[in-house]
Structure 1
Amino acid sequence: QSTACFVLVLLVCVRHTASLSDTMQGWLTTGDHNNLLRQLPRIYGSTGGGRGVHINIDKTKRYQTMEGFGAALTSSAAYVIHNSPEYDEIVNELFSPYAGIGISYIRLPMGASDIQAEAPYTYADTPYDFNLDHFSIEKDRQFIIPVIKKALRVNPGLKVMGTPWTAPAWMKTSNKLQGGQLKRDNNINDAYAKYFLKFVQAYQNEGIHITAVTVQNEPLNGNNQYPTMEMSWQQESEFVKHHLGPVFRSNNINTKILLYDHNWDNIDYANNILNDHETSQYVSGVAWHCYAGDKNAPLQLHNRQPSFDMYFSECSGGTWANDFSGNLMWNAETLFIAQPRAWTKTVLLWNLALDENHGPHVETAGGCKTCRGALTVQSRGGYTKEVEFYLIGHLSKFVKPGAVRIDSNTSQNINTVAFQNPDGSVAVLVQNSDSNSHDVTIQVDNNGRSYTYQMPGHAIATFVL
């Protein structure tokens, strides 16, 4: 009798396991703010055709391997996180794959940027120190490096992209951090290449691997109100070809070199550089911003240069767009779905966190006074999760580094992007851009089993199966 009971229990367990494997999990965010990454009840599969819009996912059609999702750890973002009474809690919310949204990639300004908690600086502000004997990341040790180290403790796989807004002032034609160009002098260019090398090595000595660097943030932006540096495509090509690339190679640096790091409205900038093999031998890919141009620009460049990777590295929300639903819809469609479908390996927003005044700022840094972080961290304690937090989470929590984008169809109101994780699971982000609800039926590899869910209007959901 005891043996029979054991067999019965075993059969029940097997059947229960089988039934769970026949279900799909989902997480929902709606434009009315009533559902914020809310886990849905399990959705059971059926062998019928399903209702509504059919989303067919084909694992045999495979595209780029994803590297991660996240935002930038600016000086101001690091400051508000580090100095918050909820420091540990915020780091878990942002970076933990279990307790939070599992951000897997951050972008790090190399010194000064246009959102600063302190006076703008670079790592080599001593004039004409060509050997960079006075190079130092000491100022990053105040709060930037501690935040990264704490993030790495909860998410050891976190990747970091380093980006300079400007070279040290003495290397520039303007002789200041604002505006100007890198001086056309071999000694200066050699010193600036060494600047990148020392940055990567200094962070490595802190236990922080720099996955990639971009050569220059927004090289076509010569704004003299905050730290910037113009760099033509010819100058960027020459710098990579004769200075940065050889320095990285001779020092066995495996940090990737990315070009451009500016808006979708200029495909020729990077394309011209990539057409020069002497330069492109050192280049891994191209980074993009959202502030002008066509969201399909990375796809257009991929079609011209299929051997180079695409990265999406910056877009910011702010007080100019306060409607939660409108922001949810635009960002989901234009960034979190369209960019991976255009072959980008990352989707990164601008600030991870800012305070209630969209800072802190120092006047000498200039820059955006109305940008919004993924978190708003109150200076007296407490924090608010903004729409960007949930948007990042809909991918970062469920699409793991090393996931491969796979094929999925879209329709007029239903936008999708799908991935297969290293463990074999499939994650699909679905957007209903219509104000009305729509039934969607998801089917993988036409295996006869389908999963139907009624998507509310102006909503996004991530489904995992």
Structure 2
Amino acid sequence: MTKRMASLARRTLVAGAVVATLGMTACASAAAEPSARVWMTSGDRSRLLSEQAPLRFAASPGAEGAAVVVDPRRPFQEMVGFGAAITDASAWLIQTRLDPDRRDALLHELFGREEGGLGFSFTRVTIGASDFSLDHYSLADTPDPTLATFSTARMEEYVFPTVRAAIAINPDLKVMASPWSAPGWMKTTGSMIQGQLKKEFYPVYAQYFRRYIDSAAAHGVPTDYLSIQNEPDFEPDSYPGMRWGPEGRAEFVGGHLGPLLRSAGVETRILDWDHNWDQPQQPLTVLADGRAREFVAGVAWHCYAGDVAAQSHVRDAWPDKDVFFTECSGGEWTPAFADSFTWTMKTLIIGSTGHWARGVLMWNLALDENYGPHAGGCGDCRGVVTIDSRTGEVRRNQEYYAFGHASRFVRPGARRVASAVTGGLQAVAFVNPDGERALIVLNEGTERVAFEIREGDQGAAAELPPQTAATYVWKALD
């Protein structure tokens, strides 16, 4: 028996004894009085995904005052899940700076649900290098339109093993892939840095994507979702990037990549844009192209400019297209725990899902104590966790707790449902496939707020301290 199995067995025996003892004294009252379990995180760190005393539901008079009213009869989008990107940097740290026991424990904590794991069920990988790689590379660096030297060998070193390990822990995990640049020889600059894809290489680049999907699958890594370019309206000067306007993207997807994947029987779903909220006209232009629209499953968004409401603006125009939120990074530009925690809860966990996101991703899953490794780009970005490259110690950052309030309790296949909020709070509600409710509420103010949670004619009195988020979980009320 491994140390992990022995520890789990001991915990199970102790937990079973406690549950049995409590159950004998509480089962009768619990059956008569439904309750909600509660987990909280506060900006002052006095609570960090800490379970609180349960709330009791009873007949509600529907009195005036602060309230969050959940209506499961009004369902919206089906959730894929929450998570973070397994970048080259994250995978390298996990595979080389953690011993096997620590690596296994961290991956179970992030992707598993047992023992309080976060249950991440959505991740993103980079096709070739990003700024968070050890160096700059593509999957076909040698100029050759036949792609004779195409290889995913670099990704097979650290990224693919990490993704496979995560899938083994959570078989529900969905994977998105995005390139930061085409191989330099296909571009106007002759380099992976800056420039645009030459149209003469559109057919070759479509084959590049197909080969990536096939090779990744052969190594146990699915490509459930694909964007053809990370941040296509940005040409960074120190790491791979590529400007690609909406007309060109529409031509590539509608005339090359989409038909190629369809003819090959590839079921990967293509997402457009993969960039900020400030330019909804870009994905709208792509979706206005009839050929491209046939192959575009949805639109992906980033957080670095604009307002999250742009997601709804585009979805209102094309309600049959999915919405995903696929990148945001915490960093030392907002070092205070309370500030970045409440912003992440408000904007990403509540805001992006309230504006139709089926999946929500942070950027790097893990970075080291120096905010790396990276090759150009951001020098003070923060990972969901920090792995000390010298000791292997793991620090859980504010994004860990913010995302945990959703990922641990909102299961793949859950539906967002209607929630009406008063009293200065913000909230989003879900119903899991088994009927269990998960309500996430944020008080970003400076004063404690008392309110009532209501479903139908039942209500439960609740309180949230200032700068605090809570997740409330309960079974369907009769």
TM score, norm. by length of structure 2: 0.91
Aligned match of 1:4: none
1:94 to 2:110 alignment: yes
Where do 5+ consecutive residues of structure 1 fail to align? Answer: 1-9
Kindly state the Cα deviation for residue 133 of structure 1 after the two structures are TM-superposed. 2.4
The one-letter amino acid paired with 1:461 is A
Kindly state the Cα deviation for residue 125 of structure 1 after the two structures are TM-superposed. 1.2
Aligned match of 1:226: 239
> SS of the counterpart of 2:316?
helix
1:198 to 2:211 alignment: yes
1:125 to 2:137 alignment: no
Aligned match of 2:458: 449
Counterparts in 2 of 1:412 and 1:440: CA distance versus 1, 3 Å: closer
> SS of the counterpart of 2:59?
coil
Kindly state the Cα deviation for residue 412 of structure 1 after the two structures are TM-superposed. 5.2
Counterparts in 2 of 1:452 and 1:13: CA distance versus 1, 3 Å: closer
Matches within 5 A, 1:373-384: 373-379=383-389, 380-384=391-395
> SS of the counterpart of 2:72?
strand
Aligned match of 2:5: none
The one-letter amino acid paired with 1:350 is W
Counterparts in 2 of 1:412 and 1:168: CA distance versus 1, 3 Å: farther
Aligned match of 1:67: 80
Identical aligned pairs, as a percentage?
38
1:463 to 2:475 alignment: no
2:24 and 2:308 map into 1 onto residues whose CA distance is 52
2:392 and 2:294 map into 1 onto residues whose CA distance is 49
> SS of the counterpart of 1:292?
coil
Between 435-444 and 252-261, the greater mean CA deviation after superposition: 435-444
1:437 to 2:448 alignment: yes
Does the CA-based 8 Å contact 1:353-1:377 persist in structure 2? yes
Matches within 5 A, 1:5-24: 15=28, 18-19=31-32, 22-24=34-36
**Number of corresponding residues:** 446
Between 148-157 and 228-237, the greater mean CA deviation after superposition: 148-157
Kindly state the Cα deviation for residue 16 of structure 1 after the two structures are TM-superposed. 5.4
Aligned match of 1:6: none
> SS of the counterpart of 2:114?
coil
Does the CA-based 8 Å contact 1:30-1:459 persist in structure 2? yes
Residue 301 of structure 2, aligned match among 288, 299, 303: 288
The one-letter amino acid paired with 2:235 is G
Does the CA-based 8 Å contact 1:317-1:373 persist in structure 2? yes
Aligned match of 1:111: 128
> SS of the counterpart of 1:109?
strand
Residue 403 of structure 1, aligned match among 408, 414, 417: 414
2:235 and 2:157 map into 1 onto residues whose CA distance is 29
> SS of the counterpart of 2:261?
helix
The one-letter amino acid paired with 1:207 is G
Kindly state the Cα deviation for residue 224 of structure 1 after the two structures are TM-superposed. 2.4
Aligned match of 1:368: 378
Q: Deviations over 1:310-344 (max 9, x none)?
A: 11011111111111011111111111101111111
Between 204-213 and 242-251, the greater mean CA deviation after superposition: 204-213
Aligned match of 1:5: none
Kindly state the Cα deviation for residue 387 of structure 1 after the two structures are TM-superposed. 0.2
2:453 and 2:207 map into 1 onto residues whose CA distance is 51
Kindly state the Cα deviation for residue 183 of structure 1 after the two structures are TM-superposed. 0.6
Aligned match of 1:174: 189
2:211 and 2:290 map into 1 onto residues whose CA distance is 26
1:59 and 1:327 map into 2 onto residues whose CA distance is 30
Kindly state the Cα deviation for residue 13 of structure 1 after the two structures are TM-superposed. 9.0
Kindly state the Cα deviation for residue 381 of structure 1 after the two structures are TM-superposed. 1.6
Aligned match of 2:287: 274
Does the CA-based 8 Å contact 1:50-1:451 persist in structure 2? no
Aligned match of 2:13: none
Residue 34 of structure 1, aligned match among 34, 46, 59: 46
Aligned match of 1:258: 271
Q: Deviations over 1:181-225 (max 9, x none)?
A: 00111xx11111111111111111122211100110000001222
Kindly state the Cα deviation for residue 15 of structure 1 after the two structures are TM-superposed. 3.0
> SS of the counterpart of 2:295?
coil
TM score, norm. by length of structure 1: 0.93
Kindly state the Cα deviation for residue 157 of structure 1 after the two structures are TM-superposed. 0.8
Kindly state the Cα deviation for residue 410 of structure 1 after the two structures are TM-superposed. 2.4
Counterparts in 2 of 1:12 and 1:114: CA distance versus 1, 3 Å: closer
The one-letter amino acid paired with 2:385 is L
Aligned match of 1:297: 310
1:388 to 2:399 alignment: yes
1:155 and 1:141 map into 2 onto residues whose CA distance is 20
Aligned match of 2:426: 415
Residue 80 of structure 1, aligned match among 90, 93, 99: 93
> SS of the counterpart of 1:291?
coil
Does the CA-based 8 Å contact 1:167-1:177 persist in structure 2? yes
The one-letter amino acid paired with 1:140 is M
1:239 and 1:11 map into 2 onto residues whose CA distance is 64
Aligned match of 1:247: 260
1:351 and 1:13 map into 2 onto residues whose CA distance is 43
Q: Deviations over 1:344-371 (max 9, x none)?
A: 111111111100000013xxx3111110
Kindly state the Cα deviation for residue 411 of structure 1 after the two structures are TM-superposed. 3.0
Kindly state the Cα deviation for residue 11 of structure 1 after the two structures are TM-superposed. 11
2:337 and 2:398 map into 1 onto residues whose CA distance is 6
1:328 to 2:341 alignment: yes
Aligned match of 1:3: none
Does the CA-based 8 Å contact 1:50-1:452 persist in structure 2? no
Kindly state the Cα deviation for residue 146 of structure 1 after the two structures are TM-superposed. 1.2
1:457 and 1:223 map into 2 onto residues whose CA distance is 39
Aligned match of 2:437: 426
The one-letter amino acid paired with 1:377 is I
